[in-house]
Structure 1
């Protein structure tokens, strides 16, 4: 079974946290003890919104995670709503520290969901991008794509970026924007181009099964 899954997306605001929460629910149904980790969150005023949601949901199903605080799950928190490279200002993002945190969290679960920040090419350091976290954490990537007009271009570009890194990935559509027109505007191409289209809202069980069995 895959031990780590990296949740990424075509851009910010696509639904990575919603997707992770959905998969946490599926893990609970399947009797899988899940954990969560969001290495970096930006745009924080008081508490990390996404990280707090993830931890609270995880703690409902995994008693082992009740000993962790949000600081454990979100080690780096920055107030500026920007890419980590910009939001960190003069601070350093220590990759070794992130790996250490992931190792600690991983011991308390069967599968660790690691949620990225923004899209694949969001910079973390001068020469480190969010896509590089997939190999750094040795995780299986799940690409979450939107359902809005223009998503074909965004989806194919993100898939090309993953393929260029020789990364084996799964993907799914988060059907939340333009959902009434998605099947008229976007789905006809997807149906002809892809062998399978998984939609988060109806295929979460199948998505989880594919992630953990590959």
Structure 2
């Protein structure tokens, strides 16, 4: 299994969910673009929160904590899709994007283009907030438009029944639903505990 983890926006728990899935499926991990927090990257977090995970080096490490296109410009760089190559491994791998599908990596290249470049199915992380239905359905439509398979819809935390019902009614039967419990303070203990509560279902 190789899976690209994206989200319906920023700060909705992609890295925490990635850690749970890395632990659950016993995969390796790769973050193609890291913008900011180079002293404690998402790869550092995955390594700290999971058991002996192989974390492959980022293709781009950018100092500014901002959208990748802005971070790259600050360093007089331009992110090039041709620079990205899926790390060679026979093991399963979780690949984590930055922000949502339409996060720009340059003025005309977006995160969804990287998913296509790597030819991976997607796992879409959803968190409950006012507007999450709109952002989820638009993200699903964007994946459908690009003919990117939505392998998993990942529900991060608790959802009102009305919200969950509308979202799931929009999801195709080929997509599996992963439910990950709320994790208040991510660390190895809480990630392991959450892994035991993960549920994976089909519609």
TM score, norm. by length of structure 2? 0.77
The structure, 1 or 2, with the larger RCO (C-alpha pairs under 8 Å, 6+ apart) is: 1
Equivalent in the alignment of 1:41: 34
Q: How does 1:48-59 map to 2 (within 5 A)?
A: 48-57=40-49
Q: Tell whether the 8 Å contact from 1:8 to 1:141 is kept in structure 2 after alignment.
A: yes
| Runs of at least 5 residues in structure 1 that lack an aligned partner in the other structure | 29-33
Equivalent in the alignment of 1:76: 60
TM score, norm. by length of structure 1? 0.74
**Aligned counterpart for 1:171 among listed residues 153, 157, 164:** 153
CA distance in 2, matches of 1:52, 1:22: 15
Equivalent in the alignment of 1:95: 81
Q: Tell whether the 8 Å contact from 2:136 to 2:167 is kept in structure 1 after alignment.
A: no
Q: Tell whether the 8 Å contact from 1:24 to 1:57 is kept in structure 2 after alignment.
A: no
Equivalent in the alignment of 1:200: 180
Cα offsets for 1:75-127 (capped at 9, x unmatched): 3222222211111011132434331xx33xx32x5111110001000011222
**Do the aligned partners of residues 83 and 122 (structure 1) sit closer, same or farther apart at CA in structure 2, a change above 3 Å counting?**
same
Q: Tell whether the 8 Å contact from 2:12 to 2:125 is kept in structure 1 after alignment.
A: yes
Q: How does 1:3-14 map to 2 (within 5 A)?
A: 4-14=2-12
Equivalent in the alignment of 1:111: 92
Query: Greater helix share, 1 or 2?
Result: 1
**Do the aligned partners of residues 97 and 193 (structure 1) sit closer, same or farther apart at CA in structure 2, a change above 3 Å counting?**
closer
Q: Tell whether the 8 Å contact from 1:41 to 1:74 is kept in structure 2 after alignment.
A: yes
What is the count of residue pairs matched by the alignment? 182
| Runs of at least 5 residues in structure 2 that lack an aligned partner in the other structure | 182-193
CA distance in 2, matches of 1:92, 1:191: 38
Q: Tell whether the 8 Å contact from 1:42 to 1:82 is kept in structure 2 after alignment.
A: yes
State the Cα RMSD in Å.
Answer: 2.5
Query: Greater strand share, 1 or 2?
Result: 2
CA distance in 2, matches of 1:48, 1:35: 18
**Do the aligned partners of residues 56 and 75 (structure 1) sit closer, same or farther apart at CA in structure 2, a change above 3 Å counting?**
farther
